Amino acid sequence: MAEKASKIFQAFREHSVAEFFKKNRQMLGYSGKIRSLTTIVHEYVTNSLDACEEAGILPDITVEIEQLGPDHYRVTVEDNGPGIPKSHVGKVFGKMLAGTKFHRFIQQRGQQGIGAAGCTMYAQITTGKPVRVVTSTGNGMIYECSVMIDVKRNEPVITDEKEYPGTMRGTRVIGEFKGVKYVKSEYGPYEYLRRTAIANPHAKIVFRDPEGARHVWERAVDALPAIPKPSKPHPYGLTAHDLLEYASMSKARSLKSFFVQTFDRVSAAKVKELEELTGIDFNRKPDSLTWEEAATIIDAIKKIKFLAPSTKNLYPIGQEQIEKAILNVLKPEFHSVVTRPPSVYRGGVPFIVEAGIAFGGEAGRKVDSSRKMEIMRFANRAPLLFDSGACVITKVVNEIDWKRYGLKDAENMPVTIVVNITSTYIPYTSAGKQAISDEEEIHKEIKLALQEVARKTSIHISRKIKAKEKSEKKKTLLKYIPEIADALQKLVGANKQEVEKKLLEIVEKKYKEWEAGEETSENGEKELEKLEEMAVKEDLENGSIGE
């Protein structure tokens, strides 16, 4: 007998987003002891960096991890940011999907309003304890409280409040966690902070590890960073639904002014073009737009040339800064870096891809005594350590035909590849924010960036390989000199020492000629020509010529 629907649906219930993420905590990055600890550090540190930058403050961040027992640690993160108003502390640390980041079109590391509340939940379910928050906006008063989450209602529960006079500006959060583990591997907090320092040369980061060692990454740039500002969506990449949603929220008197005010790079002249193409009256009110009209406008947008998205609200790390960081940290034999022009993906979201390759020196992941290819992924300067296999950056790196660029066995070479995506909205595959979704336009830009740095690198590499071949030829010759000298002595009675010396001179002279010849050789010219051809071929493959 089949069960009745009415009986099955007796079990029907509604749930809060906090319940969802409590049950599915692995989606927030809480899977495994090592990853869970790094997730906590990541959430607090990105919040601190975002807060400092939005307030125009050079970040000073201190992270301390103390071991309290096996798999049991206390984490303290303190910043010199703007502080949190008393009325908002509970919601920042004790409510999911609440915050300043989710709905704004602004370049920040955090973007969901889940991270800090996720840490509170993890503290609570592993130790039963709230997190302690100490904060001041610099107004002479310090506010302290303990925060938990009422998971069923997704609401903060605040206890042990204190307020007292004191001079401080910033926020300190202290949480106790079980089911976590500190390791020094590439997945641990130390590596996370090291990479954060690479991508944030304007921040000073101090880390006290569980063994009591103090690590300091000093500020490399003293300039106040640009304050990120909310930006406008670009018309390319908008859907009819986006357009209707913006129109429904707009207070503009006409579609014309709505378009000019709401979207990036849309001038009155462009609106006129749209009007002519669609036959729609742009003097009407924005909220009178129908779905069909919106779809018609979206089709027309694709036929019009707009300026590329404005970069004024996107702040990539910058070619020079990446070069400094690479030279400083990896000390490579050679390197090459590129910052691509801004592009745009679905929803009109602008983004910029930066890529770098470092070869030799301390580049590459150390495995036993050799070095292998290492991929350093960043999103809005935040390092991504986990879920590498699910990330579009890893996918594109694996798609590149490295052999074409002289890297015959790239995976087993001392190479570090750095990719940073800067955007007002990073499309993560999961709320754990460790992998970027495979969006067509982002995929393409990463590919172009990597091909560009690979081309630049390939000249160096082919020179290096030739130099190595020559040096080996020299070594072989040198090895036979004593034998030849010996033979000559025996055969014709020549002085062995003298013959050896002469032969050595000849080899050294020949080798110097080889070296000198290399710089101006015809081969060099030919190589460059070959690379130019290669570039054109790739562009054709990528469809970026003739568009």
Nearest distance, CB of residue 19 and a second copy, angstroms = 8
Q: Which is nearer to a second copy, 191 or 439 (CB)?
A: 439
- Angstrom distance (rounded) from CA 318 to CA 315: 8
Q: Which is nearer to a second copy, 207 or 345 (CB)?
A: 345
Q: Which amino acid is at 286?
A: P
Nearest distance, CB of residue 68 and a second copy, angstroms = 13
Nearest distance, CB of residue 159 and a second copy, angstroms = 14
Nearest distance, CB of residue 167 and a second copy, angstroms = 15
| 308 secondary structure, DSSP code | P
Q: Which is nearer to a second copy, 151 or 415 (CB)?
A: 151
Alpha helices (H) along 318-363: 319-330
380: left (phi over 0), alpha (psi -120 to 50) or beta: left
CA-closest candidate to residue 74, choices 210, 166, 207, 190: 210
Q: Which is nearer to a second copy, 95 or 335 (CB)?
A: 95
CA-closest candidate to residue 271, choices 263, 283, 259, 279: 259
The DSSP string of 225-248 is PPPP---PPPSTT--HHHHHHHHH
Q: Which is nearer to a second copy, 127 or 257 (CB)?
A: 127
Q: Which is nearer to a second copy, 423 or 458 (CB)?
A: 423
Other residues' Cβ atoms within 10 Å of the Cβ of residue 230: 11
Q: Which is nearer to a second copy, 51 or 326 (CB)?
A: 51
Nearest distance, CB of residue 386 and a second copy, angstroms = 9
| 154 secondary structure, DSSP code | T
Q: Which is nearer to a second copy, 5 or 213 (CB)?
A: 5
Q: Which is nearer to a second copy, 183 or 308 (CB)?
A: 183
Nearest distance, CB of residue 372 and a second copy, angstroms = 16
- Angstrom distance (rounded) from CA 115 to CA 100: 13
- Judged on CB neighbours under 10 Å (0-12, 13-18, 19+), 278 is middle
Nearest distance, CB of residue 340 and a second copy, angstroms = 21
Q: Which is nearer to a second copy, 238 or 410 (CB)?
A: 238
Q: Which is nearer to a second copy, 437 or 521 (CB)?
A: 437
Nearest distance, CB of residue 52 and a second copy, angstroms = 9
| 66 secondary structure, DSSP code | E
Nearest distance, CB of residue 362 and a second copy, angstroms = 27
Nearest distance, CB of residue 378 and a second copy, angstroms = 19
- β-pairing verdict for 141-150 and 131-136: antiparallel
Q: Which two tokens stand for residue 137?
A: 């906006």
Nearest distance, CB of residue 76 and a second copy, angstroms = 21
Cross-strand bridge partners of residue 18: none
Q: Which is nearer to a second copy, 125 or 260 (CB)?
A: 125
- Angstrom distance (rounded) from CA 255 to CA 287: 8
Q: Which two tokens stand for residue 349?
A: 């979201």
3-state secondary structure 166-225: CCCCEEEEEEEEECCCCCCCCCCHHHHHHHHHHHCCCCEEEEECCCCCEEEECCCCCCCC
Furthest CA-CA distance within the chain: 111
- Angstrom distance (rounded) from CA 377 to CA 392: 10
CA-closest candidate to residue 458, choices 354, 361, 348, 334: 334
Q: Which two tokens stand for residue 48?
A: 């601190």
- Angstrom distance (rounded) from CA 442 to CA 349: 11
Q: Which two tokens stand for residue 330?
A: 């990896």
Nearest distance, CB of residue 104 and a second copy, angstroms = 6
Nearest distance, CB of residue 316 and a second copy, angstroms = 22
Q: Which is nearer to a second copy, 99 or 115 (CB)?
A: 99
Whether 358 and 415 have beta carbons less than 8 Å apart is answered as yes
Residue with token string 């049991």? 72
